Structures are given as C-alpha cells and as structure tokens.
C-alpha cells in the first residue's frame, strides 16, 4: 500500500516536533518534513510534493488562508487545518474549510504537546481521509455569496411551526461545502425540520452554524439540549457531543449528551440515525453524504428498516465517497443522487 506523503506547516516548534514524531512512527505515512511558514514550505515541497499538507492558520510572512487560496488555485492539494481552539480561530478555520480545506484538527494554547499526543488517532484519521479526497472538488471551493444584510427578517424560532416530518443528514470530510450547497437551496416555506451531524470539533460547529444561518433562507443553529425540531429550522450537533432525536406527543426535540466515541466519532451519525429510526420511522428521510469511513451506514440501514426513505450522495460529487459507499454496499439506499439533486428530497416532504 502506497504511503501517504505528509508535510507540516506551523510556526510552533513544539507542534512541528510532535507531529514529526507522530507521522514518522506510523508506517502509513512518509513524512516529507516541516516548515515554520508557507514561504519556507514552498521551497521544500517543490522538491517532493506532498499528498496532504497539515497547515496552521496564524503564521509569519504568509498566513494560512492566503497560502490555502494560492495552493487551491495553482496546485490543488488536500489540506488539514491545525487550528487553535478559540472562537476567533474557529471562525477563521470555517472560512478555510470553505476555501477547500478537508478537515480541522484543534490545538489548545496550553498543554499543547500532551493534547497532540492524545489526539493522534483523530489527526491520522483526518490525514488519511484527506489523502483520499477528490482533488477536482478541491479546485472549486464554495463561491456562495456572503449576505451581510438579510433582505427579509427571518422568522423567530419561537414562532416556527411544529414538524411532522424529519430530515436527518450525516456527513464528514467535504461536508461543510456539501451542506452549504444543499441548505442554501431550501426555501423558508415547505422545508421540514432537519437534524444534522457533521464531524467537526467543539466550538467549530457554532461558527459553522452561524455562517450557514447568514446565507440560508431557513434558520440554522448549533443544537442545544431540548431544542425543538420545527419546520424551517436545521439543528447541527455540537462538536464533541452526541445528538439524538426524541419525541414528546406530537413534538420532536433533540437531546445533547456526552458519551464514548462511536465509530471513532463524537458526534456520530449512527447515533443520530438510530434515534431517528426509533422515534420517527417512516416519517423521516435519511441522507448520507461525503465522508471517510462507515459512520452512518448502520444507522441508515435501521432507518430504512423502520420505513424511512434513504438517500446517498453519488461518488462523482463526493469529496470522499467512503460513508455513502458503505451505506450503498449494505443495500439500504433508495436513491443515489448528485449533490445538486439532494435538496429536492428535502423540499416538500410533507
């Protein structure tokens, strides 16, 4: 099996040291080296171009976002962002994802070395997933316009109507852009309640939800424990927490809870989908989109067995076809659709 060539760009000597050790000790990787900023990195990488770049955002001489734009324009290459775990950092990292980065790995300001050592599995999984990403999709990062002024005031959450139908969506690598392309097509009228798991670290899901809310007609928010699932609203599971669907009479709501990793993830798509199968049954539709691994396949199968209609994103439009592929292999997918057609399975599901 071909080794994945990795290069690290980070101005922290500690980060470079720890990541060097991690990648050199894992036989899946061929570690090409590291640099303290993109200018130094370009000189080194031109001799042996990496399969995946692990990139910091705040660096001297050239920041990570400027470098990311340059790479995606000149030589599209899978990039994993390694960013500080702060609200400000999370907003910048979400912008990086929108520019074509594959995934985010967080790092704290203190206890950095121990944290990175403990996060080895998450880091290596992210790099492996990025290595299998389709570069043709990296060349076309999201071009959705940022609407600074809402033309129409959005309906208050408290006035949104109850939903009898549920849309459950699960996605991972490449999912931030995929979700944007789907959710921005949904009208504020005629859209049932939506629950979403996007594999993403804590703090980043809030920034992601706020950004989507600013460009979508429907309401988008990071879910809180007890939030009602209502028409015209999409709830995104918070990073590092599982989200399940619950029902009380005619009302649906979400439960946010801690717990162990499921399929190496928290939040887990399987956790959400299984709860939707039990609580909503045939009144739900399950959608699995781009991502590495098999999280969501078992849950989607349970949804189908409970009478739900199921949809998978096709290979041609997926950044990584792993999650949809696993669901299709199980025989639990009713429709295999390109990303541009998926929104039609949401609108008007009454």
- For residues 258 and 273, give the distance between their C-alpha atoms in angstroms, rounded to a whole number: 17
Mean pLDDT, residues 307-334 taken together:
98
79-84 and 193-198 strand pairing: unpaired
Q: What are the pLDDT digits (tens) for 106-115?
A: 887 667 778 7
Instruction: Mark whether 295 is an active-site residue.
Output: yes
Instruction: Mark whether 37 is an active-site residue.
Output: no
Partners of residue 105 on adjacent β-strands: 82
Instruction: Mark whether 275 is an active-site residue.
Output: no
Question: Regarding predicted confidence, which is higher, 137 or 184?
Answer: 184
Model confidence band, residue 193 (pLDDT cutoffs 50, 70, 90): very high
- For residues 181 and 174, give the distance between their C-alpha atoms in angstroms, rounded to a whole number: 11
pLDDT in the model for residue 159: 66
Half-sphere exposure of 111 (CA within 13 A, CB side): 7
Indicate if the pLDDT at residue 119 is higher than 50: yes
pTM of the model: 0.91
Mean pLDDT, residues 64-75 taken together:
94
Radius of gyration of the chain (CA): 20
Q: Given 34, 172, 268, 275, which residue is catalytic?
A: 172
Model confidence band, residue 158 (pLDDT cutoffs 50, 70, 90): low
- For residues 8 and 38, give the distance between their C-alpha atoms in angstroms, rounded to a whole number: 10
For CATH 3.40.50.2300, list the domain ranges present in the chain.
4-137
Q: Given 103, 134, 199, 294, which residue is catalytic?
A: 199
Going from the C-alpha of 206 to that of each of 86, 91, 106, 213, 230, the distances in angstroms are 11, 9, 14, 10, 19
Domain covering 4-137 in this structure, CATH number:
3.40.50.2300
Closest Cα to residue 303, out of 283, 323, 321, 329? 283
Q: What are the pLDDT digits (tens) for 268-311?
A: 999 999 999 999 999 999 999 999 999 999 999 999 999 999 99
User: Do residues 249 and 278 lie in contact, with contact meaning Cβ atoms separated by under 8 Å?
Assistant: no
Indicate if the pLDDT at residue 89 is higher than 80: no
Indicate if the pLDDT at residue 350 is higher than 80: no
Mean pLDDT, residues 85-90 taken together:
68
Closest Cα to residue 346, out of 309, 318, 321? 309
Q: Which CATH number fits domain 166-348: 3.40.640.10, 3.30.365.10, 3.90.180.10, 3.40.50.180?
A: 3.40.50.180
**Cβ neighbours around 5 below 10 Å, total:** 18
Going from the C-alpha of 254 to that of each of 176, 228, 236, 279, the distances in angstroms are 21, 7, 10, 11
For the chain, the maximum distance between any two Cα atoms, rounded to a whole number of angstroms, is 64
Q: Given 10, 103, 213, 295, which residue is catalytic?
A: 295
- For residues 261 and 293, give the distance between their C-alpha atoms in angstroms, rounded to a whole number: 14
Mean pLDDT, residues 42-50 taken together:
96
Model confidence band, residue 145 (pLDDT cutoffs 50, 70, 90): very low
For CATH 3.40.50.180, list the domain ranges present in the chain.
166-348
């Amino acid at each position: 099996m071909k080794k994945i060539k990795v290069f690290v760009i980070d101005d922290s000597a500690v980060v470079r040291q720890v990541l060097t050790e991690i990648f050199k000790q894992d036989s899946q990787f061929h570690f090409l080296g590291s640099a303290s900023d993109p200018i130094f990195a370009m000189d080194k990488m031109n001799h042996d171009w990496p399969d995946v770049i692990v990139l910091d955002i705040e660096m001297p001489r050239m920041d990570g976002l400027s470098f990311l734009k340059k790479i995606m324009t000149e030589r599209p290459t899978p990039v994993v962002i390694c960013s500080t775990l702060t609200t400000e950092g999370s907003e910048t990292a979400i912008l990086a994802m929108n520019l074509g980065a594959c995934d985010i790995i967080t790092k704290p300001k203190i206890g950095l070395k121990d944290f990175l050592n403990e996060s080895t599995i998450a880091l290596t999984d992210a790099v492996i997933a990025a290595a299998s990403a389709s570069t043709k999709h990296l060349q076309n990062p999201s071009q959705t316009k940022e609407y600074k002024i809402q033309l129409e005031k959005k309906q208050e959450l408290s006035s949104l109507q109850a939903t009898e139908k549920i849309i459950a969506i699960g996605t991972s690598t490449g999912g931030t852009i995929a979700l944007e392309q789907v959710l921005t097509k949904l009208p504020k009228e005629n859209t049932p309640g939506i629950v979403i798991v996007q594999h993403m670290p804590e703090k980043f899901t809030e920034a992601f939800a706020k950004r989507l809310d600013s460009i979508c007609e429907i309401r988008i928010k990071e879910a809180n424990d007890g939030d009602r699932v209502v028409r015209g609203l999409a709830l995104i599971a918070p990073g590092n927490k599982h989200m399940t669907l619950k029902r009380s009479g005619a009302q649906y709501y979400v439960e946010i809870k801690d717990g162990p990793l499921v399929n190496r993830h928290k939040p887990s798509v399987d956790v959400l989908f299984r709860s939707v199968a039990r609580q909503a049954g045939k009144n739900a539709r399950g959608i699995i989109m781009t991502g590495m691994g098999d999280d969501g396949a078992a849950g989607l199968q349970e949804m189908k067995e409970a009478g739900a209609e199921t949809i998978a994103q096709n290979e041609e439009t997926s950044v990584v076809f792993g999650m949809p592929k696993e669901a299709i292999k199980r025989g639990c997918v009713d429709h295999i659709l390109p990303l541009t057609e998926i929104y039609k399975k949401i609108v008007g599901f009454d």
